[in-house]
Chain A
């Protein structure tokens, strides 16, 4: 994928060998991305992973140290933000407090010296899509958080561009509103069919919104794939541990004879999606891919209940397995007293094996 040459009609955004250093600190190390027209891309990572930095480079708000950025086939590496054909939405909304909502929407268009009736037309259209007609003449201070973020999206919308950049747009909202706006952004994407690049640290947002997720760590893309693939076939231990809550359980052991052996126990690797080789390995099993029975064969994988969290629709049981914590997610809402022994079985088809040295998936 990295070797693909940008196809001007198809590729919306292309990043080649992007590097950025602040003094001696290298923030981005050789980032490469090819993003197709109409794709919804989420840049996911913890703080300091460089996800917002990439977005700022795309927007032209940061000068890159090396590499190139193409938008719609045009090299924009040295272009001013306004000339790149982008719209951007910020975490803190960044509305101009002294201007009305209408003024906020019109500001960029006036700067671009668009005719008055064109400006009015675009504002009407954006306000209609985002349902903000009722408060076009209010000041941002008189709006709620959700309304402000709508206006901020509107400000990107009126620019009538192909590429939208979102910098953690929902992080300042409360949980309920966040879920609402998430759905709305998804709907917006389906309506407009623009390319969107969306930065977040929230994996739920990433999983639900993205066509493809780029998971970053310390300025390096760990995996750039569909949410499904990242969830099911994480390329390395970091990705495996990052996605999912509670996170994936890891068990050290070794592979031999088609079985994964640890602490005198064994589980068959039949149906594993990959190419396991004999030797030391780490087995990663998601809490939701673990089944259990109260009674079972003596030789089974037995673990004792330590703590149980009931969440209504499901519950998470924290167990102790060979001195390590093991989480398990189940729709079963039975309350198991602490110390109960459960017999575990893993869904190997959806598990992952990793090389302990390289931390890569086998």
Chain B
């Protein structure tokens, strides 16, 4: 205190850990997190219990005797009204539906977006407007016309038909996504590539694609979760042997014969949700890295 110049506030401002503001923020975050995590907790716990233990009640208590029997059963033995093969068949169907649908829809939509953003061809605005209208029409309206269309194409009830449906319905939003992203890439890069003698495809594959990892990750997340979680199209456009996992899950859970095996149902539900969850965990990190890689100032 000897030096009068040092009176009053000096240096960095002290922070209080337990300020009202912090309590408010962290309190809210914790409550919200719990709100979302408790159902998951109950599901996991229930799936690890035997049926007698479930009947006791206590849904919040951890299993006394943990068993993976319900998981195995859900995967390979659970019965629907038609068969007793568990979820595995649905899982492989879903894979066979999701992989080509995601790949095709993203491929086509990114080329659409690239053409719309970079090559201002005649009628581009009109084409884009039509695509956007497609994004705002509820799917339910288009279900029946789509059935007729697939029937006429001879694809009704096949996996190919369902892949086509997913590809078509993903088009408006994905095209918008890609178009807007490509529009943010510097136009001069595109011009430079043209002077360097690259054509439509050359610019797409060698200039645009390498710069677009972040948006592709976003598109993959969107499409994988959307298509994997789809129930409506799966049940409408395919036949039972091609039912995706979601439909299979529904049929297992809603089977009315015998006892309700809550543990098996819980395990089956978690199994079905695992793929989108995995995608989020894996690509979430890729996404951040993608943004960092894309942040090259031209």
Residues of A within 8 A of B (CB): 56, 59-61, 80-82, 86-88, 90-98, 107-108, 111-112, 139-141, 155, 167
Contact = CB atoms under 8 A, between A and B. Distances in A.
Interface residues of B, number: 18
Contacts of A92: 186, 188, 298
A140 B191 contact: no
Contact of B192 (A56, A90, A98): A90
Contact of B191 (A94, A111, A141): A94
Contacts, number: 69
Contact of B298 (A56, A81, A87, A95): A95
A96 B194 contact: no
Nearest to A82: B197
A141 B192 CA distance: 17
B208 to A, nearest CB: 11
21 contacts: A56-B191, A59-B195, A60-B194, A61-B195, A81-B195, A82-B198, A88-B191, A91-B188, A92-B298, A93-B188, A94-B189, A94-B298, A96-B189, A96-B192, A96-B193, A98-B296, A108-B197, A139-B296, A141-B296, A141-B297, A167-B188
A107 B194 CA distance: 11
A140 B191 CA distance: 17
B206 to A, nearest CB: 8
B195 A86 contact: yes
Contacts of A91: 188
Given A97-B298, A111-B198, A141-B297, A59 B191 contact: yes
Contact of A94 (B192, B197, B198, B210): B192
Contact of A93 (B194, B198, B298): B298
Nearest to A148: B298
Interface residue SS majority, chain B: helix
A94 B194 CA distance: 12
B186 A98 contact: no
Give the most central of A81, A112, A167: most B CB within 10 Å: A81
B207 interface: yes
B210 to A, nearest CB: 4
A38 to B, nearest CB: 21
A90 B191 contact: yes
B196 interface: yes
Interface in B174-218: 186, 188-189, 191-198, 202, 207, 210-211
Given A94-B186, A112-B197, 19 more contacts: A61-B191, A61-B195, A81-B191, A81-B194, A82-B194, A82-B195, A82-B197, A87-B195, A88-B195, A93-B188, A95-B298, A96-B189, A98-B211, A107-B198, A108-B195, A108-B196, A111-B196, A140-B296, A155-B192
B120 to A, nearest CB: 10
Contacts of A111: 196-198, 202
A80 B189 CA distance: 16
Which 5 residue pairs are nearest across A and B when measured between Cβ atoms? A108-B196, A82-B197, A97-B296, A94-B188, A111-B197
Contacts of A56: 191
Interface string B81-120: 0000000000000000000000000000000000000000
A82 B196 contact: yes
Give the most central of B191, B196, B207: most A CB within 10 Å: B196
Give the most central of B189, B192, B193: most A CB within 10 Å: B192
B201 to A, nearest CB: 12
A88 B192 contact: yes
A170 to B, nearest CB: 15
Contact of A96 (B191, B195, B197, B207): B207
A93 B191 CA distance: 11
Interface in B144-195: 186, 188-189, 191-195
A111 B189 CA distance: 16
A336 to B, nearest CB: 43
Nearest to B198: A111
Give the most central of B189, B195, B298: most A CB within 10 Å: B195
